[in-house]
Amino acid sequence: MITNERVSRHEHICNIAKQIMTAARTAPKGKGVDIIEIAMISGNEINVLSNKMIAMVEEHGMQFFLRDAENILAAECIILIGTLDSPQGLNCRHCGFDTCADRMDGVPCAINCVDVGIALGSACAMAADMRVDTRVMFSAGLAAQRLNFLNGCKQVYALPISASSKNPFFDRKPKL
């Protein structure tokens, strides 16, 4: 039997993405409390995400969303990593408030921020180990958050995954 890599690539990349999600899941968490949510989208959901990114430019004017919206269409799948809003009760003051109880609505818990960052780092390390192309995208993550792809998560980031002869997520030109 002959299996052409071009034919099996999508399934293979989606399997690698599942390993990347495991790496993000097993990353250390503050106080050992797991409030990280992780999902993978592919197929039509990537188009939905791209369209949302384009629509958001009207709202905030960040033109790089247009470039990124086109860019994610080159992904076989996209991993979404976010955190639930759950203050850890440490009163550490890293959020800018004296206590967790004083923290204003909408201000993220610093421990939650660190947790999602460590999960992203673990995911990117696994992607590098598996030799797939990726890039952490705030833009696609924010659009996924607005679409509620991770059920109420805050601080969502996206990792588009590709395996092609050139990483499509770098050396990008601005979309005019």
pLDDT along the chain (176 residues), means of 10: 88 96 94 93 98 96 94 97 90 92 90 94 97 96 97 95 88 69
Give pLDDT, residue 176.
Answer: 62
For 14, 27, 74, the CA distances from 31, given in Å and listed in that order, are 31, 12, 38
Question: Domain extents for the chain?
Answer: 5-161
Give pLDDT, residue 21.
Answer: 98
Predicted TM-score of the model (pTM): 0.92
Residues 47, 75: contact at Cβ < 8 Å? no
Give pLDDT, residue 142.
Answer: 97
Give pLDDT, residue 175.
Answer: 65
What CATH number labels 5-161? 3.40.109.10
